[in-house]
């Protein structure tokens, strides 16, 4: 995320692998597109990872655009192209439309964003209450939600892509423990003192990615506890428990969630033997 945040007017981390940038000061869409291409190149060079980027007049359109050409796309939607871009897309691309809302709309013959935009505001309010107001605006690509630096962090994570795929346990464990140490350093530096959930992510040769997590009943606050949890979550990937065909590993990641601020009390620590 440090790579992505660089040079932005505002930065909002939406999840461990998704963020919003405000690039207004660059002057226009062409400048924003050039900035995005530089970001993609730097992420690929430094991390060995591709990413998809959407550029639009607001967060809503940018989010939909970022999903348009995954896993390595760059989609630019100009302000006067928003309706054209959205029209043919299925209604499910609208953030907030899940399976139930989709099913309700499809029963009315509404399958595309253009068809959704054809519904009157009063009709949407009658069927969905206050949510109908949001549907009306989102079908038109409208959103005034700011890119906010005040977002409350929900997780801290690090990952590393190896230069060569490997299944050497000592090397992988060494790198995983180093990642855990960096995660812990960032955790403390961001004003947190404890965590309850530890997640280890493994990407195999062939890009199959698997994550395993453990959430303790109580919070943990020590680096040693984090590293012990990482070790126990990772070790099954070296044998038949999580890697029955002996695939080599391309990438590992470590993440902590359910974070506690320094001002929040810790009931008791997570004991190592509770990590599966």
- Sign for the CA dihedral angle at 215, 221, 227, 232 comes to negative
Question: Which pLDDT belongs to residue 77?
Answer: 97
Class of the 155-274 domain? alpha beta
| pTM of the complete model | 0.57
Question: Which pLDDT belongs to residue 276?
Answer: 30
Instruction: Name 244's Cβ contacts closer than 8 Å, sequence gap at least 6.
Output: none
Domain boundaries, given as residue ranges, for the chain: 2-138, 155-274
Residue from 12, 13, 18, 242 carrying the catalytic annotation: 18
- Sign for the CA dihedral angle at 178, 181, 185, 190 comes to positive
Active site residue 160: no
Instruction: Name 231's Cβ contacts closer than 8 Å, sequence gap at least 6.
Output: 173, 176, 177
Query: Which CATH homologous superfamily contains domain 2-138?
Result: Reverse transcriptase/Diguanylate cyclase domain (3.30.70.270)
141 — alpha (psi -120 to 50), left (phi > 0) or beta?
A: left
The answer to whether the CB of 21 falls within 8 A of the CB of 51 is no
Mean pLDDT by 10 residues, the chain (276 residues): 81 83 90 94 90 96 94 95 97 92 94 96 91 94 82 80 95 97 91 93 91 91 96 96 96 93 53 32
């Amino acid at each position: 995320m440090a790579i992505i945040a660089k040079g932005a007017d505002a930065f909002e981390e939406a999840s461990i692998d998704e963020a919003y940038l405000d690039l207004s000061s660059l002057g226009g869409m062409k400048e924003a597109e050039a900035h995005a291409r530089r970001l993609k190149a730097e992420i690929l060079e430094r991390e060995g990872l591709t990413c998809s980027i959407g550029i639009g007049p607001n967060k809503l359109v940018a989010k939909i655009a970022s999903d348009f050409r995954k896993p390595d796309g760059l989609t630019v939607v100009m302000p006067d192209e928003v309706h054209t871009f959205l029209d043919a897309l299925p209604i499910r691309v609208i953030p907030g439309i899940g399976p139930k809302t989709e099913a309700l709309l499809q029963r009315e013959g509404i399958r595309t964003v253009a068809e959704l935009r054809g519904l009157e505001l009063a009709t949407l309010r009658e069927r969905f209450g206050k949510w109908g107001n949001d549907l009306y605006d989102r079908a038109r690509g409208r959103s005034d939600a700011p890119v906010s630096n005040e977002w409350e962090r929900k997780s801290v994570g690090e990952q590393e892509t190896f230069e060569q795929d490997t299944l050497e346990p000592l090397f992988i464990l060494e790198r995983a423990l180093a990642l855990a140490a960096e995660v812990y350093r960032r955790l403390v530096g961001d004003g947190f003192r404890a965590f309850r959930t530890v997640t280890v992510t493994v990407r195999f040769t062939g890009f199959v990615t698997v994550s395993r997590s453990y959430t303790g009943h109580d919070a943990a606050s020590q680096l040693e506890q984090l590293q012990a949890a990482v070790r126990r979550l990772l070790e099954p990937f070296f044998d038949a428990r999580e890697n029955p065909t002996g695939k080599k590993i391309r990438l590992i990641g470590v993440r902590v969630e359910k974070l506690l601020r320094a001002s929040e009390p810790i009931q008791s620590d997570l004991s190592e033997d509770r990590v599966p």
